[in-house]
Structure formats: C-alpha cells, structure tokens
Amino acid sequence: MENIILIGFMGSGKTSVGGKLSRVMHMKFKDTDQLLEEEFGCKISEFFEKEGEAEFRNRETALLQRLNGTLQSTVLATGGGLPLRPENAELLKKLGMVVYLKASRETTVRRLSGDTTRPLLAGGNVEQKVEALLEQRIPLYTAAADVTVLTDGKSFYEIINEIEKRWKERMNWA
C-alpha cells in the first residue's frame, strides 16, 4: 500500500494525526524525529546544541535515503524543516502521497507559545520566530505537497477522513 507522508510546520499535528491515521488505516506509523532521536541516542534539542542544525539536516536527508525503497504501508510524520531541502522534497514524493497539514498562523502561535522542546524557537519571542519561519516555509510546504489539508476548526476525525478520501482517490479506490 502506498505510504502517506505528513509534512507541515511545528505544532501542525503531524505526530498526533499520523498516529491516529495509521490506526484507522491499519498502516504502520513512523516519525522522522523519533527515528533520529533513536539514532542519535539523545533529544533533537541536544543534538542541535552539540552538532548544529546543518548536521541535523544532513542526518534527515540520510534517513530519507535509507527509507526510500524500504518504507511500506506506513504513515510517516516528518520534522517541520525536513521538506525544505529540494532534495528531500523529491525523496518524499517518491516515498508516497505527501500531505501538508496546514494550520493558521494564530493556531500555530497559540500551540507553540511556551514550547521548550524545539531548538528553533528557543530564546526570544516565539510569535516573531514563528511568523518569520512561516513566511519562508509556507511556499515550500505547498510546493512539496500532493495534497494540502487545512486543519483549523476540524476534529481529528474530520482531518483523518479527508486524508483517507484523498488517498483512496489517488489509489483509484474511491
């Protein structure tokens, strides 16, 4: 079965939607941040401190290259910066149907204010950081995606239904 790849900004619900979606669709669930933390043996924030963002990005690309060809019947949630490298965006399209979970700026800021786990938001004004990153990233997420799902005001059930419907259409099962 074709994989489903979830992309989107930090706090867009990739991990929580992905876990539930995989259960509904009887698929496996994987999360690139979790896979990388297992590989690093430490939290992503610690890896950023020790090795820097550029090395983290290299490791994300290496992980995608390893997944390519081996991932099957899986919902894959990805780190918020992973689809930004053109090379990664291409690899994601090969891996499966790429779904962009898109929340509004307001929802995103609300969910992320007070976050202490994400290195890119550490120190300073979360709202300003989110705004600046969103501006750069929204066009890239949109270009990397096969399908964009707007999540504001929708329940998990509605979001999952929409993804399932698009996936079946793509597989010609609808």
47, 2 contact by CB (below 8 A) = no
**Comparing C-alpha atoms, which of 5, 4, 8, 6 is closest to residue 111?**
8
In angstroms, rounded to a whole number, what is the distance separating the alpha carbons of residues 101 and 110? 16
Q: How far apart are CA 51 and CA 170, in angstroms?
A: 40
Q: Could you give the CA distance from residue 109 to residue 88 in angstroms, rounded to a whole number?
A: 26
Which residue's CB is nearer to ligand S3P, number 26 or number 139?
139
Using rule CB under 6 A, residue 13 touches ligand S3P: no
Quote the least distance from Cβ 165 to ligand S3P, whole Å: 24
**Beta carbon of residue 59, minimum distance to ligand S3P (angstroms, whole number):** 10
Count of chain residues binding ligand S3P (CB under 6 A): 10
Binding residue for ligand S3P (CB under 6 A) from 30, 59, 105, 118?
118
Single out the segment in contact with ligand S3P by CB under 6 A; choices: 18-26, 103-111, 118-126, 139-147. 118-126
Q: How far apart are CA 69 and CA 25, in angstroms?
A: 21
**Interaction between residue 132 and ligand S3P (CB under 6 A):** no
Q: Contact residues for ligand S3P (CB under 6 A)?
A: 10, 14, 33, 44, 79-81, 118-120
